[in-house]
Amino acid sequence: MDRVHAFGDDALGELDAVGMVQALRAGTVSPVELIDAAIARVEAVDPACNGLAYEAFDRARTRARQPRPYGGFFDGVPTFVKDNVDVAGMPTMNGTDAWEPRPAADDGDFARAYLATGLVPLGKTQMSEFGFSASAEHPRLGPVRNPWHLEHTAGASSSGSGAFVAAGVVPIAHANDGGGSIRIPASCNGLVGLKPSRGRLPLDKDMRQMPLRIVHNGVLTRSVRDTAAFYREAERVYANPKLPPIGDVTEPGKARLRIGVCTRSVAREASPEVSELTHKTAALLEELGHRVVPVDNPVPARFVDDFLLYWSFLAFALVRGGRRTFGETFDRAKLDNLTLGLERYAARNLVRVPAAVARLARVRRITSRLQDTCDVLLMPTLADVTPRVGHLDPVADYEQVIARLVEWVAFTPLQNATGEPAISLPTAVSASGLPVGMMLSAPVGRDARLLELAYELEQARPWARIQD
């Protein structure tokens, strides 16, 4: 297998983010050593994985040399930010070449909260154009490749973040999710990816203005404790009073849960291999004492077209408002076929969009009925194993790309519409040796329940590691 990673005998070693905090506090490593090691790892891995959108190495080194503490639990721990949120001094290009890069004047709302935890950004990571595709395959920069097997996609849209965390470049990186873009790269790259409840973390202004807030910020990590620690620390910076707090989740929960298992999405049944792996995870949960029952997917098939209509409407707004939003250098001719195809689809169906959005906003009423019988729902993160680079090539014919996209990303959009939390865990491995994520979802506000269950699964069956 064509595998690449940067784990080695340097300051980062095999530490996760919490382990790095402990090493910093013990004085066994310094912030400068961590940042320098992470930069060396970027330079070693990026030629193969191609996850870097913008480098800010000098800025990170300057920050690391400042007297500590800077403030924040993760002081000195290296990270990356996905290239669709504003960070002062860095351009925000949204994975496209459609306008001239210019540095953001200020941190956006999310970056302010994210960096207040002490994380030190080394730059920004690549993503698919505007996050519309589940594979980042930039026509000029090339595809972001999966470090587990370079012929396969790293998933998207948070592709560069997924590849870098999996390859050991950094222990934690920003990701966000408008249709699965935290959970998809988590599944492809063998990572932990929690899409939190709607409103759990702040959004930048452009994402707040969406008619239905389907985008959720979060992180990708290699360990449950890193994800849990991040949400604990983020909650100290930004807490939504409308949601139950996550708090400090450090171990499995004691309650035995009612877990529904479903291998049929709104669009299709999962592939035989993925279905079998899902049932193996269900069997493990049963062995751990949880009550596991099969459930039918209650969401009507119309959801697929409704979500596609809304997805395409977002493309329509970006393309038609490009100069107003991105400046006079905006050139729609530089957009890929997927973005332009979505824009055309919306233009032909604008009259149907309001009703589709209204139905999407009501889907949570349907999924809430499952809460009478289930505390948590188990489904595969994706309907099939990770495809090769080129399967979702955004410059191919639009009809081909969108059909393949809907087929593969059949499970994750549901929780973007409902606002419910969902976590992808790397509990399975395909016959070809690639990670396969399993997705657990819960009612809105019950993010802590998912983290407790994630701890339990991680302890019972530790994840496969790329360096082994």
Tens of pLDDT along 107-121? 999 999 999 999 999
Mean pLDDT of 285-298: 96
The answer to whether position 4 is within a domain reads no
The answer to whether position 187 is within a domain reads yes
Catalytic residue among 157, 158, 223, 265: 157
Question: What is the C-alpha to C-alpha distance for residues 159 and 322, in angstroms, rounded to an integer?
Answer: 24
For CA atoms 371, 374, 375, 378, the dihedral sign is negative
The CATH number of whichever domain residue 268 belongs to comes to 3.90.1300.10
Q: How many domains does the chain have?
A: 1
For CA atoms 69, 70, 73, 78, the dihedral sign is negative
Mean pLDDT of 85-102: 97
The answer to whether position 259 is within a domain reads yes
Half-sphere exposure of 216 (CA within 13 A, CB side): 30
Are 313 and 415 a contacting pair, CB within 8 Å?
no
pLDDT band at 210 (very low <50, low <70, confident <90, very high): confident
Mean pLDDT taken over the chain: 96
- Find the domain containing 404 and state its range: 17-460
pLDDT band at 429 (very low <50, low <70, confident <90, very high): very high
391 phi and psi, to 5 degrees? -60, -35
**Among the ranges given (145-149, 204-208, 334-338), the one the predictor scored with the smallest mean pLDDT:** 204-208
Are 181 and 140 a contacting pair, CB within 8 Å?
no
pLDDT at 66: 87
pLDDT at 204: 93
pLDDT band at 140 (very low <50, low <70, confident <90, very high): confident
74 by Cβ neighbours in 10 Å (0-12 / 13-18 / 19+) ranks as buried
pLDDT band at 209 (very low <50, low <70, confident <90, very high): confident
pLDDT at 279: 98
pLDDT at 370: 87
Mean pLDDT of 49-64: 97
Mean pLDDT of 389-403: 96
For the stretch 329-369, pLDDT in tens is 999 999 999 999 999 999 999 999 999 999 999 999 999 88
The answer to whether position 358 is within a domain reads yes
Q: What size, in residues, is the chain? A: 468
Question: What is the C-alpha to C-alpha distance for residues 31 and 12, in angstroms, rounded to an integer?
Answer: 10
The answer to whether position 6 is within a domain reads no
Catalytic residue among 135, 181, 312, 441: 181
- 187 catalytic per annotation: no
For the stretch 438-452, pLDDT in tens is 999 999 999 999 999
pLDDT at 235: 97
The answer to whether position 1 is within a domain reads no
- 157 catalytic per annotation: yes
Query: Residue 93 pLDDT more than 70?
Result: yes
pLDDT band at 1 (very low <50, low <70, confident <90, very high): low
The answer to whether position 466 is within a domain reads no
pLDDT at 69: 57
Give the CA distances from residue 300 to residues 89, 124, 212, 358, 374, in Å, rounded to whole numbers and listed in that order.
Answer: 45, 38, 19, 14, 19
pLDDT at 70: 53
Mean pLDDT of 227-239: 97
pLDDT band at 71 (very low <50, low <70, confident <90, very high): confident
- 181 catalytic per annotation: yes
Indicate yes or no: pTM above 0.85.
Answer: yes
The answer to whether position 374 is within a domain reads yes
168: tokens are 């050991």
Give the CA distances from residue 309 to residues 144, 315, 346, in Å, rounded to whole numbers and listed in that order.
Answer: 27, 10, 6
Query: Residue 105 pLDDT more than 70?
Result: yes
pLDDT at 30: 95
Catalytic residue among 82, 135, 195, 197: 82
- Neighbouring residues of 63: CB distance < 8 A, sequence distance ≥ 6: 31, 35, 70, 120
